[in-house]
Amino acid sequence: MDFVLDAVLDGVIDTLKMVPFLLVAFLLLEALERYSETHRDSALTRLGGAGPVVGAVFGCVPQCGFSVAAANLYAGGVITLGTLLAVFLSTSDEAVLLLLGNPGQAGNVLRLIGVKVLIGTLFGYGVDFLFRKSPMKKKRLGAICDDCGCEEEEGIWKAALHHTVQVFLYLLIFNCLLNLLLEAVGIERLSELLLKDSFLQPVLAAFVGLIPNCAASVVLTELYLSGILSFGAVISGLLSGAGVGLAVLFRINKNFRENLKIVGILLVCAIVPGIILQLF
């Protein structure tokens, strides 16, 4: 039983160290969310041919608002599929914050954001080029969903505390479970189970990334920091992790088959770069 107590205690200590940083980060992001929410829709609707590159740059800001806005605007026939995918692929959430909260990971943050923006831009333009002869059907601009899980009327402090507690709980549970697994089976065996050094690991990570919840990015990032996931695999998982934007798309875009096709394209766009990075 001693190893269980040690694993849980280590998990609690490691997670508590992150709380001050997470709170400050979420306060800043909530302030940014309030400032940008009145401008992001109009910015995304005036992109023209620059849609994918601007969408990718906006998407890398670690907040849920841009992926939700992109889902709304695509469902309303305002932006192209390439722009939507560029935002989804570059969307950054808790992964950036968790990396920043770990000493020595600043370089990885810049590399992660740079790769995601580059891939979002390239695949965004690629998708628009491939579908250039199949114009996007005009959709009726119906009820727009603004719910990204952030209660704008709560105020910055309450919303930031809500997000901090949520991520803290995910981190606490996962860190304790991971420590128990490492104590029980060892890091080498766990790495084998999660296909370390296999080209299939990015595929597995990409499917995990589809979960429309910050728990997915927490799990992927912590496994990467533990050395179990490769950089290629975590890239695949975070590329497919469009956050709640994907859930919003299914909620407001009534064409279910179209939504499934978008998920399929998103997976391909996430898996291919991950496998390339894994192999090279």
Query: CB-side exposure of 272: number of CA atoms within 13 Å?
Result: 11
DSSP string of 108-143, one letter each residue: HHHHHHHHHHHHHHHHHHHHHHHTTTSPPPP----P
Residue 153: which residues within 8 A CB-CB, separation 6 or more? Answer: none
Q: Is the overall model pTM greater than 0.85, yes or no?
A: no
Residues 6+ apart with CB under 8 A from 137: 77
pLDDT of 226 reads 86
pLDDT of residue 63: 64
Return the axis-axis angle of helices 231-240 and 256-279, rounded to nearest 10°: 170
Spans of all domains in the chain: 2-279
Residue type, 199: F
Q: Which residue do the tokens 């975070």 mark?
A: 238
For residue 2, with 0-12 CB atoms within 10 Å meaning exposed, 13-18 middle and 19 or more buried, which class applies? exposed
pLDDT at 205: 93
Q: CA-to-CA distance for 137 and 140, rounded, in angstroms? A: 10
Q: What is the model's pLDDT at position 26? A: 74
Token pair for 154: 């709560």
Ranges of the chain whose pLDDT falls below 70? 1, 3, 25, 29, 32-48, 63-65, 93, 134-154
- Are 55 and 83 in contact, with CB atoms under 8 Å apart? yes
